[in-house]
A and B are shown apart, each in its own frame.
Chain A
Amino acid sequence: MILGLAVIVVLPFVVGISWVLLVTELAILVLYAMAYNLTMGVTGMLSFGHGGLFGAGAYILVIAMIKGDIAMPYALLAAPILTALITFVIGWLCVRLTGIYFAILTLAFGQLIWATIWKMRTITGGDDGLTGLQIPSVMASPTNQYFCILAIVMLAVLSIKIIVDSPFGFTLKTIRENQTRAQCIGINVKRYQLLAFTASGLFTGLAGALFAILMRGAFVEFATVARAFEPLFAGILGGMHVFWGPAFGAGMLLSLDTFIGAYTEYWPLVAGGTLILLVLFLPEGIIGRIASIRKARAQRLNQSSA
């Protein structure tokens, strides 16, 4: 823990700017993956709509700052909150459905957001996007930006951790494990699914806003379906039923993109292949597998000592 913090603090002073930017991006993608996992891994709802929510967060921040002349701290508050509101409305309509029907409806809403961004040129800039975001000078240098964004991400991930470990988070997991059973221990399943989806949207909006800051603008690509698959892949790679699984998965995805992408433009092929192998042979994900090996060992020790 302390070692990790030390690495984070020292890192920008020992590596080049491109690395600092890469790690900043990684932090944002980690937040995005963990935000998404509140829906998928924790509550067991498959959503394809998070790309739209990520884009919404980005655009709300950029529109607020460029068109509304709102200071960054306020825009950075408004983005997740408004995204959460949007998510709440979408969720309110979607949680009536379950399983694949829920997923398809979230996909439709995600596409709706994407199409809105694409078509409302006067506000969103259409396919040109919105560029030229002015960042406050304290945050302008890559190193300062790195520290600011990492601090925000860590705070957000800590919040997610608290949520997941709380009785509320436990309740979400009971819904994931067995909806019927959850119902008949007195849990209002739809209500909790909506709450989880909204919380997930809040943090997804924050990740989108941070991403817009890093990219100094918002682009319609932020809101595509492909964006919605990223955190899902991250969860599958790392393991979505263990807290740090999606974070690890996000790291793997970005590494594959960056390092293999530098050698060949066919990196998605490698990513796809990795995914297939993992789904076939390691369905719990990498961190998930490690966790369950540990758990099995602990139980064996327990039994032999009893």
Chain B
Amino acid sequence: MDLDILKVKSLSKAFGKLQAVDRVSFTVQPGVVKSVIGPNGAGKTTLFNLITGYLRADTGEITFKGMNITNLPPHELNRKGLARSFQIVNIFPRFTVFENVQAAVISRMGKSSSIVTSAKNVGREEAFQILDRVGLSEQAGYIAGTLSHGDQRIMEIAIALGGRPELLLLDEPTAGMAPEETYATVALIKRLVSEFGLSILVVEHDMDVVFSISETIVVLHQGGMLAQGKPEEVRQNEMVQRVYLGEEITREKGQ
């Protein structure tokens, strides 16, 4: 019996001479938030793209719910229950907010090839439930591209939820957000775990966010693993402080 929902074993990826991800191993337990941090260029996004099938790994193995998912294409990973959001807003901008989520719900229901009914009401209820959950039901009828940046990012999470994932990968979910939006997103992430039992893997820059949501943290540096552990352990790790956290923690707040 495999208790970990995600298991990354000795994963490596090089771009030419640059070793972007170097023998990274960690696990994600069900129902917790795990964060991946590290300075710019540490290989966080590459790691994400490897796990979600956008890049092929050179070596190593990724296991999801006990299945080997290394190098499966993105759409198959999504069907297995692994959803992601992107660092740069990635939505259907000309669809309404409702349609954005509905698209994901229809796909998950396996109705994408159905041509006998009208799409209008397919998955409607579930899409509205999700919008309710993330607090976007008021904006359901708006064109998605006209939402504020923060709302678009939350809508991305809503799209991911349409696939009823067990594991959610969020790539900098609070990037570019105003403080109150960040606060709302943090609350949402906590709620997704506590109320809906999701497991979440997050790449995040904002250290306050990382320390307030994470059960465990993985620190990457130049592609390799620098440290891993509970937030307090990571905070006190000398190496981490030296290469990364030092500058972040001593940095002036509010800039």
Contact = CB atoms under 8 A, between A and B. Distances in A.
Interface of A: 162-163, 165-171, 173-174, 177-178, 180-189, 192, 195, 299, 302, 306
Contacts of A192: 112
A185 B162 CA distance: 8
A167 B142 contact: no
30 contacts: A162-B116, A167-B106, A167-B112, A167-B114, A167-B115, A167-B117, A168-B113, A169-B115, A170-B102, A170-B103, A170-B106, A171-B103, A174-B92, A174-B95, A174-B103, A177-B92, A177-B93, A178-B93, A180-B90, A184-B83, A184-B84, A185-B83, A185-B104, A185-B108, A186-B75, A186-B163, A187-B75, A187-B112, A189-B75, A299-B142
B82 to A, nearest CB: 9
Nearest to B104: A185
Q: Which of B104, B115, B116, B122 counts the most A-chain CB atoms under 10 A from its CB?
A: B115
A178 B92 contact: yes
A185 B103 contact: yes
Contacts of A189: 75
Contacts of A302: 141
A163 B114 CA distance: 9
Contacts of B159: 181, 185
Interface string B74-113: 1111110001101000111111000100111011100111
Contact of A168 (B94, B114, B162): B114
A49 to B, nearest CB: 24
Interface footprint category on B: 35 or more
Interface in B106-136: 106-108, 111-120, 122
B180 interface: no
Given A166-B116, A166-B118, A177-B92, A186 B108 contact: yes
A181 B107 contact: no
B53 to A, nearest CB: 9
A173 B94 CA distance: 10
A15 to B, nearest CB: 36
A13 B93 CA distance: 49
- Secondary structure at the B interface, as helix, strand, loop or mixed, is loop
Given A166-B114, A185-B163, A187-B112, A171 B107 contact: yes
B231 to A, nearest CB: 29
Nearest to B143: A299
A165 B112 contact: no
B52 interface: yes
B122 A167 contact: yes
A93 B106 CA distance: 28
Interface string B35-76: 000000000000000001000000000000000000001111
Nearest to B85: A184
A177 B118 contact: no
A178 B90 contact: yes
B115 A299 contact: no
B107 A166 contact: no
A168 B93 contact: no
A167 B141 contact: no
Contact of B117 (A166, A173, A182, A306): A166
Contact of B91 (A166, A170, A171, A178): A178
B92 A167 contact: no
A182 B46 CA distance: 20
B138 interface: yes
A165 B75 CA distance: 23
Nearest 10 CB-CB pairings of A with B? A186-B78, A170-B119, A185-B104, A166-B115, A177-B92, A171-B112, A186-B107, A167-B119, A167-B114, A168-B115
Contacts of B95: 173-174, 177
Nearest to A163: B115
A244 B36 CA distance: 49
B130 to A, nearest CB: 12
Interface string B197-237: 00000000000000000000000000000000000000000
Contacts of B90: 178, 180-181
A306 B138 contact: yes
Contacts of B93: 177-178
B159 to A, nearest CB: 6
A170 B116 CA distance: 13
Interface string B150-190: 00000000010011000000000000000000000000000
